């Protein structure tokens, strides 16, 4: 019998009222491993109602009390990190060491949220006017929605949930329907850590669940991560409903290799960042911009490394790259390989038709490399989100920069060089939110914030770190005077400071 993955509402599993459900696959075998419940509007209402009921109690819990739960959750998550990594691998397909890295970065965000007491301190100005004190306080927004993508089923929910809870909000999390079990595991651990019922709810499903949260009047804010068209839709719909929205979208990340770079290190980085997690990372390098004259040598070095990559079931310790997440996604990615060939790009390594030992039904696509890619080709313009790396050639630094700045996405980028002056110029001139200097995947540490520019982010708050605390609170400024009979008297003039 196929397992069923239920919602988590009010501190317990909940089947929901909807008859609809979705298949969750083991991407390495292509078999359906479970069915996940798809919420109907009544399920959305039940989750939001549970979060609303829990709000006064959680908001009223002392900072020390809320922080204690986060510390306890951190300990549990750390102790059971391998279990969570296995869950990620079983539904996403990424290799376990990669999944363990995802969980480690998730823990970093929990640790940051444990510092809530420091983050939520307000300002205080004594005697701003004679006998008048002014101070600010940061308060929670209320019930907030978190909607996450398939590619980081543990880390992305934990970009938002810890900070949202630390600030005193209650949460409805809508994880990706492709790999929903990590979110349930996280909710169970939070319950074990002492989080009261209803403070964190997990609602599974598709557009119905997302629209239900976007339209619900009791949901005050939405943190979304996913593809650009949906991010834009979520931003526009949510803000039209008067909600605070941060919506992180897709990417096309360029890695520039200048002629003075160490080409072996650059090739290592391009392969690691292009094919890690089968390219299903929003910070994956998808375009290498080889600045003349290094192109031929760099392509040869990348191709050489690709041929040695071990593709296989993510559960096997020997595998370096796993399958794609679903058959539909596999088909879409393969269609880009075909389109690249038709458009005239040079297919240096073809990953189609790869055979993986004993895993016939899996959603396999081997690492694929194109050279001589130009900006008019769909392998360049579109986010493919698979193990397809494109090399574009540029005559010089200026041409490379122009290419990146003309691209509608602006999530991550990197420059490989030994020239500090060129690197400084690049960090100053490139129109991208996260920049690596000889670092191919510059995901900011938990005490900075994560976010792209242009079509990679809608809204003005980045995720986690200080901007996360800012997003999940609203500030109140109090101007206070304690009555003094000597200051009586009616005065209709606009108050001025004295």
Q: Which residues bind ligand NAD (CB under 6 A)?
A: 147-152, 156, 174, 176-177, 206-207, 210, 225-227, 230, 248-251, 282, 383, 385, 411, 452, 456
Residue 411 CB, nearest approach to ligand NAD (Å): 5
Nearer to ligand NAD, 250 or 367 (CB): 250
Among residues 14, 114, 167, 282, the one annotated as catalytic is 282
- CA distances for 112 relative to 121, 145, 220, angstroms: 15, 20, 23
Q: Where are the alpha helices (DSSP H) in 141-227?
A: 157-166, 181-192, 207-215
Residue 383 CB, nearest approach to ligand NAD (Å): 5
Of 386, 269, 368, 382, nearest to 326 by C-alpha is 386
**Is residue 411 a contact partner of residue 432, using CB atoms and an 8 Å limit?**
yes
Measured from each CB, the residue nearest to ligand NAD is 226
Nearer to ligand NAD, 74 or 252 (CB): 252
Q: Is 282 a catalytic residue?
A: yes
Residue 447 CB, nearest approach to ligand NAD (Å): 17
**Is residue 371 a contact partner of residue 345, using CB atoms and an 8 Å limit?**
yes
Residue 150 CB, nearest approach to ligand NAD (Å): 4
Residue 95 CB, nearest approach to ligand NAD (Å): 18
Where in 49-141 does DSSP place strands (E)?
Answer: 124-129, 132-140
**Is residue 151 a contact partner of residue 238, using CB atoms and an 8 Å limit?**
no
At which residue do the structure tokens 């750390």 appear?
Answer: 78
**Is residue 32 a contact partner of residue 22, using CB atoms and an 8 Å limit?**
no
Nearer to ligand NAD, 240 or 424 (CB): 240
Of 29, 24, 31, 78, nearest to 314 by C-alpha is 29
Burial 28-66 (b: 16+ CB within 10 A, else e): bbbeebbebbbbbeebbebbbbbbbebbeebbebebeeb
Nearer to ligand NAD, 204 or 393 (CB): 204
Rounded Cα distance between 293 and 296, Å, is 8
Of 348, 356, 353, nearest to 334 by C-alpha is 353
Q: Where are the alpha helices (DSSP H) in 200-262?
A: 207-215, 228-240
If you ran DSSP here, which 8-state letter would residue 158 be given? H
Nearer to ligand NAD, 238 or 362 (CB): 238
Residue 434 CB, nearest approach to ligand NAD (Å): 9
Nearer to ligand NAD, 267 or 333 (CB): 333
Q: Which residues are marked as active site?
A: 282
């Amino acid at each position: 019998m196929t397992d069923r993955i239920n919602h988590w509402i009010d501190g317990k599993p909940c089947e929901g009222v909807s008859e609809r459900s979705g298949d969750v696959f083991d991407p390495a075998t292509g078999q359906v491993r479970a069915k996940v419940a798809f919420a109907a509007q009544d399920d959305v209402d039940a989750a939001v109602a549970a979060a609303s009921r829990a709000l006064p109690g959680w908001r009223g819990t002392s900072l020390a009390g809320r922080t204690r739960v986060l510390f306890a959750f951190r300990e549990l998550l750390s102790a059971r990190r391998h279990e969570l990594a296995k869950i990620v691998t079983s539904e996403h397909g990424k290799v376990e060491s990669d999944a363990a890295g995802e969980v480690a970065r998730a823990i970093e965000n929990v640790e940051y949220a444990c510092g809530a007491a420091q983050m939520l301190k307000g300002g205080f100005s004594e005697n701003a006017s004679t006998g008048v004190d002014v101070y600010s306080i940061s308060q929670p927004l209320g019930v907030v929605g978190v909607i996450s993508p398939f590619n980081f089923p543990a880390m992305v929910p934990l970009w938002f949930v810890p900070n949202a809870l630390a600030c005193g909000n209650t949460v409805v999390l809508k994880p990706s329907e492709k790999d929903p079990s990590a979110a349930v595991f996280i909710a169970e651990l939070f319950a074990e850590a002492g989080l009261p019922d209803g403070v964190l709810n997990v609602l599974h499903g598709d557009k119905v669940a997302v629209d239900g949260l976007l339209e619900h009047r009791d949901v005050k804010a939405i943190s979304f991560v996913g593809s650009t068209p949906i991010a834009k839709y979520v931003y526009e719909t949510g803000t039209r409903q008067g909600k605070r929205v941060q919506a992180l979208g897709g990417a096309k990340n360029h890695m520039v290799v200048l002629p003075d770079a160490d080409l072996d290190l650059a090739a290592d980085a391009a392969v690691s960042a292009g094919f890690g997690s089968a390219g299903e990372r929003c910070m994956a390098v998808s375009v290498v911009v080889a600045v003349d004259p290094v192109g031929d040598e760099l392509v040869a070095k990348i191709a050489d490394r690709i041929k040695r990559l071990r593709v296989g079931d993510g559960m096997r310790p020997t595998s370096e790259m796993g399958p794609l997440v679903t058959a539909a996604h596999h088909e879409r990615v393969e269609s880009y390989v075909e389109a690249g060939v038709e458009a005239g790009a040079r297919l240096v390594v073809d990953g189609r038709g790869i055979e993986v030992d004993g895993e016939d039904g899996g959603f396999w696509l081997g690492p694929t490399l194109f050279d001589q890619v130009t900006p008019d080709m769909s392998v360049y313009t579109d986010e493919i989100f698979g193990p397809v790396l494109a090399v574009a050639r540029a005559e010089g630094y200026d041409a490379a920069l122009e290419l990146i700045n003309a691209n509608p996405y602006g999530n991550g980028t990197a420059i490989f060089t030994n020239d500090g002056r060129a690197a400084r110029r690049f960090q100053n001139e490139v129109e991208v939110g996260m920049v690596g200097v000889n670092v191919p995947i510059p995901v900011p540490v938990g005490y900075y914030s994560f976010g792209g520019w242009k079509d990679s982010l809608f809204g003005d708050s980045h995720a986690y770190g200080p901007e996360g605390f800012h997003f999940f609170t609203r500030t109140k400024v109090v101007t206070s005077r304690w009555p003094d009979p000597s200051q009586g008297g009616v005065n209709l003039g606009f108050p001025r400071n004295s």
